[in-house]
Amino acid sequence: MSLLWPQHLWWMLALPLLVAAYLLLLGRRVRVPVRLSSLEVARQAQGGSWRRHVPPALFLLALALLLFAFSRPVGRVMLPGTKSTILLALDVSLSMRVNDVQPSRMAAAQEAAKGFLQDLPRDIDVGIVTFAGTAQVAQQATRDRPALLKAIDGIQMQRGTAIGSAIVVSLAELFPEHGIDLATLTFGPDRRPLSPERQGKAPPAAFTPVAPGSYKPAVIILLSDGRRTTGVDTLKAAQMAAERGVRVHVIGLGTPDGHLAAGEGMAFYLQLDEAALREVARVTGGEYHSASTAQALHAVYQDLGSKAQLQTRETELTALLCLLAAGLLVAGAGLSLHWHGRLL
């Protein structure tokens, strides 16, 4: 928390003076002897002695909040997000046929993605990027949920796992003005001609790197069950996302020995590269989640979906503190009138 007007904290010094004045007034009150007709009346009188201090205490607390609000505090709070875009990057490599996650990794991923779409508010754009030996946009970001469901149902599995390429393609969708070209990053500028869609266009706009995770309008959710076998280096792609402030939340799908069900020949390449996936999340300011069952995968998507609807932002708390102070004043006045028939 920070203060826009910290110099006004000096007003808080008035609080001890008010407490001292209140205690002084209590000491100067003249005690009038009262005849008590029974012990029950005495108990009621003793029990009510603390009540006379409650309204002044509430008034004092309200005044403290108002004086602190005068310094204009600013804090980080969770607020409903503005326009958001989520890109789902889904692994469609052949290892997704493994059934250690029932009924299979691919079927569980498809069902979880559908549930994710159903739970999201309709004003959030969602795009789908699929990757195996390369990566491509299966559905551009849209609010058309039926189109997204059709893209998920139309997934076809292929050989290879290009995790880094999936991140690069996602970034190219989010920042078309940056001129991110997957072919150039994969094969190098000297070995690959400029793609047709880039020919004849203005050169890519320069950008200034920003803090990781600072780009709030979009996030990438990447799901994979293996390790990179081709395409752009995974950590290089993660660094590109970090420089643009885009968080990459990563889901590692499958059980530790589930790759053995797919055969021994390529067992190493079918194993989940959890260390690299965790590093992608760390570098970009995202989160890493492990899902070994269909239920766990659905829970992860639910958690990420709820976070996509809220954003942590710095906001001035003055109005909130004033509202709380007003509530305390009303409560103090109400209790005083109810118990004593007067405000104080």
Q: How far apart are CA 124 and CA 305, in angstroms?
A: 10
pLDDT for 45 equals 47
Q: How far apart are CA 166 and CA 262, in angstroms?
A: 23
Q: How far apart are CA 24 and CA 248, in angstroms?
A: 61
Span 162-184, average pLDDT: 93
Look at the block and give the residue holding tokens 């393609």: 169
Instruction: Judge whether residue 185 has pLDDT over 90.
Output: no
Quick one: which of 330, 277, 341 has its CA closest to 59? 330
Instruction: Judge whether residue 51 has pLDDT over 60.
Output: yes
| More confidently predicted of 1 and 88 | 88
pLDDT tens for 301-338 read 888 876 665 555 667 788 888 899 899 888 888 887 77
| More confidently predicted of 171 and 259 | 171
Across 9-18, 85-94, 114-123, 143-152, least confident range: 9-18
Quick one: which of 125, 311, 99 has its CA closest to 213? 311
pLDDT for 78 equals 54
Whether 326 and 286 share a structural domain: no
Whether 59 and 143 share a structural domain: no
Specify whether the CB–CB gap between 58 and 66 falls below 8 A.
no
Tokens of 153: 């149902």
Whether 53 and 201 share a structural domain: no
Instruction: Judge whether residue 207 has pLDDT over 90.
Output: no
Looking at residue 250, which CATH number applies to its domain? 3.40.50.410
Tokens of 235: 């950590």
Specify whether the CB–CB gap between 316 and 28 falls below 8 A.
no
pLDDT tens for 25-45 read 777 654 545 555 555 545 544
Whether 228 and 113 share a structural domain: yes
Specify whether the CB–CB gap between 171 and 180 falls below 8 A.
yes
Span 9-36, average pLDDT: 72
Is cis: bond before 103, omega within 30 of 0?
Answer: yes
Q: How far apart are CA 343 and CA 328, in angstroms?
A: 13
Q: How far apart are CA 125 and CA 8, in angstroms?
A: 44
Instruction: Judge whether residue 190 has pLDDT over 60.
Output: no
Whether 209 and 281 share a structural domain: yes
CA distances from 95 to 17, 228, 279, 318 (A): 73, 12, 22, 54
Whether 322 and 232 share a structural domain: no
Whether 62 and 114 share a structural domain: no
Beta bridge partners of 226: none
pLDDT tens for 276-291 read 999 999 999 999 999 9
Q: Which amino acid, residue 58?
A: L
pLDDT, mean over the chain: 82
- DSSP characters over 199-249: TTSPPPPP-----TT---SEEEEEEESS---SSS-HHHHHHHHHHTT-EEE
Span 209-234, average pLDDT: 92
Whether 254 and 299 share a structural domain: yes
Whether 115 and 50 share a structural domain: no
* 264 DSSP 8-state letter: S
| Host domain of residue 101 | 80-314
Q: What percent of the chain has pLDDT over 70?
A: 78
Instruction: Judge whether residue 204 has pLDDT over 80.
Output: no
Instruction: Judge whether residue 240 has pLDDT over 90.
Output: yes
pLDDT for 71 equals 85
Q: Distance between the two ends of the chain, CA-based, in angstroms?
A: 35
Whether 58 and 88 share a structural domain: no
242: part of which helix (H) or strand (E)?
Answer: helix 234-243
**What's the number of domains the chain is made of?**
2
Whether 92 and 72 share a structural domain: no
Whether 63 and 173 share a structural domain: no
